[in-house]
Amino acid sequence: MGKGARTRSRKPTSPMGKMGASRPWGTIAAVVGILVFAAAVFGYVYISSGDKRERETALGPFVPSESNQDPSRKIPGVVVTEPPGADHVRPDQRVAYQGTPPYGGAHDQSWAACDGVVYSQAIRVENAVHSLEHGAVWIAYRPEISKADLDALRARVEGTNYALMSPVPTMDSPISLQSWGHQLKLDNAADERIDQFISALRVNRFAHPEVGATCAPLGPGRFDPDNPPPFDPTPPGPDAVPVDGAK
């Protein structure tokens, strides 16, 4: 270095200067999180909609129409009969049904609320049969079925108009489905025939007498869903009204 030359001092180099401006890692992480969440939501919706489409396709043959008025006849195990009558009985009268649960014939003048009600207690069957006349599907079950089966049945009824569910302790199968003049007895709630039965017969205008009748609760003094008439486990006596209503 020559005489008189000035010595230039070097400024310390900042590490950030070498790396460039600081990256907004927090913002990047937030954006990535949002994208991952959105992808997860999209995937769930896509899979759910696919499952729904698949279910609707599978149930297509069990949707009633003018040309297919009773699709339940395609379901293995369904018993179909023409109920012998639809007379009304008083609240203090029994009907001599041939089996339990009944699925047609004379019944109480008040229907059981069937607008998606799940009864925890067994209810009077004469009221439930009136609900079938209105187009409801009644899911009955023995009280000792598994919690998984109970939850699966409940999911099909809760919030579904023209559907009701209740235990029937004296029936001879774990699960039994009823509509007017139709019955299907089953061993478990995983059976695909449950959805087929409901699709074919719930508010099927070709398969029940009182098309357009309501399932709304009648209330205290008639049929109160919060305090329904109880199930009678004893056999009907000699004074019971015949199922065809004849006196």
Model pLDDT for residues 2-61, shown as the tens digit of each residue: 545 455 555 555 555 555 566 788 888 888 888 888 777 777 666 656 676 787 899 999
Please state, in angstroms and rounded to a whole number, the distance separating the CA atoms of residues 19 and 4.
Answer: 37
Would you say residue 171 has pLDDT above 80?
A: yes
Question: Given this model, what pLDDT does residue 48 score?
Answer: 54
- Which string of b and e fits 147-161 if b means at least 16 CB within 10 Å? eebbebbeebbeebe
SS (H, E, C) 19-72: HCCCCCHHHHHHHHHHHHHHHHHHHHHHHHHHHHHHHHHHHHHHCCECCECCHH
Question: Given this model, what pLDDT does residue 9 score?
Answer: 53
pLDDT in tens, 88-136: 999 999 999 999 999 999 999 999 999 999 999 999 999 999 999 999 9
Whether the predicted model's global pTM rises above the 0.75 cut: yes
Question: Given this model, what pLDDT does residue 55 score?
Answer: 77
173 within 8 A of 194, measured Cβ to Cβ: no
Question: Given this model, what pLDDT does residue 38 score?
Answer: 79
Question: Given this model, what pLDDT does residue 242 score?
Answer: 97
